[in-house]
A and B are shown apart, each in its own frame.
Chain A
Amino acid sequence: MRPLVFALVLATGLGLLLLWAADVDWSSPWNPEQQRNWLGSDFRVVMGGATQDEERLRIGVIGDNHTALQSMALNGVDAAGNSMLRYRFEDFPNTLELSLVFRRMGDEDVNVISLPSPGNGDEWFDLGSIPEWQGRITELAFAEYPTPQVVPPEQAFKSFSLVGASLASRSWKGDLAALQTDWFGQWPWSQRSVHALGRDTDSPRARSLVLFIAIACALVLTAAMLILRMRRPALLRLAVGVSLLAWLLLDLQWQAGLYSRGAATETLYAGHSWPDRELHAADRDLAEDARALKIALRGIPEASRILVHSGSSFSVLRLVYHLLPMNVGVFAKALQLADGKAPPAGTILIACDAPGWSFNAATGVLQADSLKIPGEVLYRTDRAIAFRVGSQP
């Protein structure tokens, strides 16, 4: 009798725990009361190019800014009553990220939220957890773009299909499916991955799988102690077994993620030798610029001082790294230390993809944001300039 009670208590407890983790609304039905379904072919292409493949939308071309966007105009769908998003893609490349874009009635701005990467089946997401998901929704769209800082934009795209999507009211089924998507959906490496793991996104997350499994272990052991009256050493054996099994479950999930991320890494780099592989990283344009600059400036003395500027701190530091072994420093930092004064004559300035910087060939003056610096151009392309600072007049 006790084993039966133990099994019942365990099944009930774990079930309740799962419902808590999924944040199931007790008053909602098992299946959604209302659901609006759209086929992939119902979506309109806004960025990129696509063809209809029966009921699917086959996205075959990426748009400007390396983004594809498929949109659906809605007639003011009530956000509160349609908070569960289901989406399904096929052949979605592991080098792309997926976002949902939506527009509300009376609001010109669009809202963008990152979605878990689509696997092979239906994925669910609880939009009710997004503060902006309220009022009436007039447009819904999916945007796909290269994984930031991981994938070079030119290399990310492979054709894929949007199979369909739907908006549904809350239901137990939808909540549990959204939990499954959150727990088992794969995420790419990001700069945060050496600090803290998990999907690097501002989108709300479900309750933690680690926490769920820890509570589940505690439940099993407590039930074994109270109902089965298990004592040492049997309880100890159970504790070791349960902990090991729980650890293995978490580790299998982690291993699946490693496999998925490894596949993305292979997509990018496998089959390329080392020097080429550097040109398949996310900043291949900077690497190419740096290689060209190093060739162009190979005649300068080894100790020449070079200050580097670009559009973001990431690209400045990457450029510094790619330009090694040149004697490089960060222009913005030097400017700050020199109270905004131009660098001394003889210093070489390198700027890549730097908005606010321009060179006037007629006057021989480099406009570096608000600074006017006279000197001579050593190398110049559409994206990059190397400039030796001359004497101030």
Chain B
Amino acid sequence: MSWQYLLAWLLPLFAGSGLVLAIGGGRRMPGNLCAMLGTGFLLGVFVAGILCSLIARENVQGAFADVAPWLAAIGILAWVAALGLRGKPWPEASFNKSGLGWHLVWWFLLAMIAFRIHSLASEVLLRPTFPWDAWAAWAVKPKAWFLLGHYAGYEPMQQWLANPGTTLRTSAIWDYPELLAWVQVWFASAVGGWNEPLINAVWLGVLVAIGLGSYGNWRVLGVAPLWAMILAYGLLSLPLIDAHVALAGYADLWLAATFGLAVLSWLRWLRWKEHGQLLLAVALAFCMPFIKLEGAVWLLIASVLAGLTLLPRRWRWMTVGAIVLMLGASLLFGGLVLPVFGLGWVHMNWGSVVVPALGKMDLQWHPVGVEMLSGLFTLPNWHLLWYLLPLVLVLRWRGFLVDQTARWLGILLLCCATFLFILFFFTEASAWAENYTSSNRLIMHLVPAVFTLLALLLRGVSVSGSDRAPESEAPNAPA
């Protein structure tokens, strides 16, 4: 392993964690370190990708050399700012309330996570890019740019054929977002060649980032260490998530990580009014459409909900009512056109939706319930997640009444689930559910946030005995 490749990992971690600490971490709370490292790595990798796209277009093979100083400078500035703004430490939460047995469970689960990461590392570091869309879609642009040595634009094949004089290229994925492509360029340029296993290893980094970021932020939100570890193990042990690391190359894990960590920052803002966390949530959320087209939908839903949380309570229902009325009236009287960031102008009519990137989708019922249920409940994709979720919702529904973070997250996930329901049951995307090609992958985008909901609802449950209200495990709110 070259020192450049090592730096390609460390610099995003250094810069990203500095940014997270500077922007969002004035308060020192239990879990902040993990949250900073997890969220920081993801943010840092995105910053590296964005810088590559801005600085290294004409010298893609030298992207690392060109961007690394900038990233280091951002990191130094961020850390200086972060250390200057550092607040007083908060008291550690109540791990000691759990007995020795549960303490051992915590360590056992950590060992299980480490073992899993080792297994996945040995797979991803050996294997050339394997899954179909990884090489047919996601790696096409970065590989072409890197081997060419410069950026090249892509266009649809019809235009490509009609304009033989241009230097543009073509691919079926000509309009796919390019942030991940630049991230791949960052690692390829550090390696000094198109070395697929070393480039794909960053998918493992994303998995670790999800684990660290989730564990740390759950702790900040008042979840006890044992519950946080149980849930982190649960999240990282999910077979479909592991498969996306072992067979790296798809964008879904990145979207799941970004959505999950953006949601956590948003919840931290809701709970502790850490304004920097709102900024972090916005930054991560705005990366989503640049990762994958579905990210635009998650961003839209999250933005509407985040906007509602900013409104005074009495205005919220009126705003929701006005939006619903406006949408309903527009659909009844000829449809409406909505600009959706990342998707373009979306035309909605009664019975059809036109999304520029996806084409026209006729809305009619498609009976794919059996396939969807099979993917969730019988295939070995999700262990027991979808059995336990409804159980926890039923047993801990009071959590929604007393905890506004759980309530807003519940509403967010309900809206996202409604979108997926409409997508799979009312559009031609039902074919993706029938042949199991993308239904589970799209569901995966929401899974880290689903675990956060579980964490919030189980927060007051003490496995060592007592069952308290959801708020009671949290450190006291600041005055």
Selected interface stretch from B8-16, B160-168, B286-294: B160-168
Assembled-state Cα–Cα distance A68/B128 (Å): 27
Shortest beta-carbon distance from B84 to chain A in Å: 43
Selected interface stretch from B135-143, B261-269, B355-363: B135-143
Contacts of B246 in A (CB 8 A): 189, 258, 261
Besides A210-B384, A265-B123, A329-B160, 17 more A-B contacts (Cβ < 8 Å) are A193-B247, A194-B244, A195-B438, A198-B379, A208-B380, A217-B387, A233-B467, A243-B384, A254-B383, A274-B193, A274-B196, A274-B197, A274-B198, A277-B128, A324-B147, A333-B157, A337-B158
Contacts of A251 in B (CB 8 A): 112, 237, 383
Q: Mark A318-336, 1 if CB is under 8 A from B, else 0.
A: 1011001101011001100
Q: Decide if A30 is an interface residue (CB 8 Å cutoff).
A: no
Contacts of A139 in B (CB 8 A): none
Shortest beta-carbon distance from B311 to chain A in Å: 38
When the two chains form their complex, are residues B130 and A189 in contact, meaning their CB atoms are under 8 A apart?
yes
Shortest beta-carbon distance from A155 to chain B in Å: 14
Q: Given A194-B247, A208-B378, A250-B380, are A265 and B126 neighbors across the interface (CB < 8 Å)? A: yes
When the two chains form their complex, are residues B384 and A196 in contact, meaning their CB atoms are under 8 A apart?
no
Contacts of A346 in B (CB 8 A): 164
Assembled-state Cα–Cα distance A258/B139 (Å): 25
When the two chains form their complex, are residues A217 and B378 in contact, meaning their CB atoms are under 8 A apart?
no
When the two chains form their complex, are residues B240 and A337 in contact, meaning their CB atoms are under 8 A apart?
no
Q: Given A189-B246, A196-B440, A244-B230, are A269 and B136 neighbors across the interface (CB < 8 Å)? A: no
Q: Given A193-B131, A269-B126, are A217 and B384 neighbors across the interface (CB < 8 Å)? A: yes
When the two chains form their complex, are residues B380 and A210 in contact, meaning their CB atoms are under 8 A apart?
yes
When the two chains form their complex, are residues B383 and A250 in contact, meaning their CB atoms are under 8 A apart?
yes
Contacts of A302 in B (CB 8 A): 148, 167
Assembled-state Cα–Cα distance A262/B127 (Å): 10
Q: Mark A259-288, 1 if CB is under 8 A from B, else 0.
A: 101100110111000100110010000000
Shortest beta-carbon distance from B377 to chain A in Å: 6
When the two chains form their complex, are residues B378 and A211 in contact, meaning their CB atoms are under 8 A apart?
yes
Q: Decide if A27 is an interface residue (CB 8 Å cutoff).
A: no
Chain B residues numbered 433-475 whose CB sits less than 8 Å from any CB in chain A: 436-438, 440-441, 461-467
Selected contact of A334 from candidates B157, B438, B461, CB within 8 Å: B157
Assembled-state Cα–Cα distance A209/B164 (Å): 56
Chain B residues near A (Cβ < 8 Å): 105, 112, 115-116, 119-120, 122-123, 126-128, 130-132, 134-136, 139-140, 143-148, 157-158, 160-161, 164, 166-167, 169-172, 193, 195-198, 230, 234, 237, 239-240, 242-244, 246-247, 250, 252, 375, 377-384, 387-388, 436-438, 440-441, 461-467
Selected contact of B378 from candidates A192, A210, A268, A278, CB within 8 Å: A210
When the two chains form their complex, are residues B158 and A261 in contact, meaning their CB atoms are under 8 A apart?
no
Contacts of A210 in B (CB 8 A): 377-380, 382-384
**Whose C-beta in chain A lies nearest to the C-beta of B129?**
A321
Q: Decide if A232 is an interface residue (CB 8 Å cutoff).
A: yes
Contacts of A244 in B (CB 8 A): 105, 230
Assembled-state Cα–Cα distance A214/B383 (Å): 9
When the two chains form their complex, are residues A250 and B384 in contact, meaning their CB atoms are under 8 A apart?
yes
When the two chains form their complex, are residues A321 and B140 in contact, meaning their CB atoms are under 8 A apart?
yes
Q: Given A191-B131, A266-B126, A325-B148, are A338 and B161 neighbors across the interface (CB < 8 Å)? A: yes
What is the number of contacts between chain A and chain B, taking CB atoms within 8 Å? 180
Q: Decide if A255 is an interface residue (CB 8 Å cutoff).
A: yes
Q: Given A209-B380, A236-B461, A251-B237, are A193 and B243 neighbors across the interface (CB < 8 Å)? A: yes
When the two chains form their complex, are residues B132 and A191 in contact, meaning their CB atoms are under 8 A apart?
yes
Q: Given A233-B466, A321-B136, are A265 and B127 neighbors across the interface (CB < 8 Å)? A: yes
Q: Given A247-B384, A329-B160, are A318 and B250 neighbors across the interface (CB < 8 Å)? A: no
**Whose C-beta in chain B lies nearest to the C-beta of A337?**
B158
Q: Given A194-B131, A208-B378, A255-B116, are A236 and B467 neighbors across the interface (CB < 8 Å)? A: yes
Contacts of A209 in B (CB 8 A): 380
When the two chains form their complex, are residues A233 and B143 in contact, meaning their CB atoms are under 8 A apart?
no
Q: Decide if A354 is an interface residue (CB 8 Å cutoff).
A: no
Q: Decide if A303 is an interface residue (CB 8 Å cutoff).
A: yes
Interface size on A, residues (CB 8 A): 65
Contacts of A330 in B (CB 8 A): 157, 172
Q: Given A251-B383, A254-B380, A259-B119, are A196 and B375 neighbors across the interface (CB < 8 Å)? A: yes
Selected contact of B380 from candidates A197, A217, A262, CB within 8 Å: A197
When the two chains form their complex, are residues B436 and A196 in contact, meaning their CB atoms are under 8 A apart?
yes
Shortest beta-carbon distance from B223 to chain A in Å: 14
Shortest beta-carbon distance from A334 to chain B in Å: 6
When the two chains form their complex, are residues A195 and B436 in contact, meaning their CB atoms are under 8 A apart?
yes
**Whose C-beta in chain A lies nearest to the C-beta of B120?**
A258
Shortest beta-carbon distance from B3 to chain A in Å: 18
Selected contact of B441 from candidates A194, A243, A250, A314, CB within 8 Å: A194
Q: Return 12 A-B CB contacts under 8 Å, by A number.
A: A196-B440, A233-B466, A251-B237, A254-B237, A258-B123, A261-B246, A265-B126, A269-B128, A317-B135, A320-B136, A325-B147, A334-B161
Q: Decide if A305 is an interface residue (CB 8 Å cutoff).
A: yes
Q: Given A254-B239, A321-B140, are A277 and B157 neighbors across the interface (CB < 8 Å)? A: no
Contacts of A243 in B (CB 8 A): 384, 388
Chain A residues numbered 147-197 whose CB sits less than 8 Å from any CB in chain B: 150, 189, 191-197
Contacts of A270 in B (CB 8 A): 126
Contacts of B144 in A (CB 8 A): 324-325
Assembled-state Cα–Cα distance A246/B259 (Å): 28
Q: Given A189-B247, A192-B436, A196-B379, are A214 and B195 neighbors across the interface (CB < 8 Å)? A: no
Shortest beta-carbon distance from B2 to chain A in Å: 13
Selected contact of A255 from candidates B119, B123, B461, B463, CB within 8 Å: B119
Contacts of A191 in B (CB 8 A): 131-132
Assembled-state Cα–Cα distance A277/B197 (Å): 10
Contacts of A36 in B (CB 8 A): none
Assembled-state Cα–Cα distance A253/B375 (Å): 18
**Whose C-beta in chain B lies nearest to the C-beta of A274?**
B195
Q: Mark A336-347, 1 if CB is under 8 A from B, else 0.
A: 011000001011
Shortest beta-carbon distance from B380 to chain A in Å: 5
Contacts of B467 in A (CB 8 A): 232-233, 236
Shortest beta-carbon distance from A256 to chain B in Å: 10
When the two chains form their complex, are residues B169 and A327 in contact, meaning their CB atoms are under 8 A apart?
yes
Contacts of B158 in A (CB 8 A): 337
Assembled-state Cα–Cα distance A233/B388 (Å): 18
Assembled-state Cα–Cα distance A82/B402 (Å): 62
Contacts of B139 in A (CB 8 A): 321
Assembled-state Cα–Cα distance A11/B123 (Å): 40
Contacts of B195 in A (CB 8 A): 274
Selected contact of B119 from candidates A262, A269, A321, A337, CB within 8 Å: A262
Contacts of B240 in A (CB 8 A): 194, 196-197
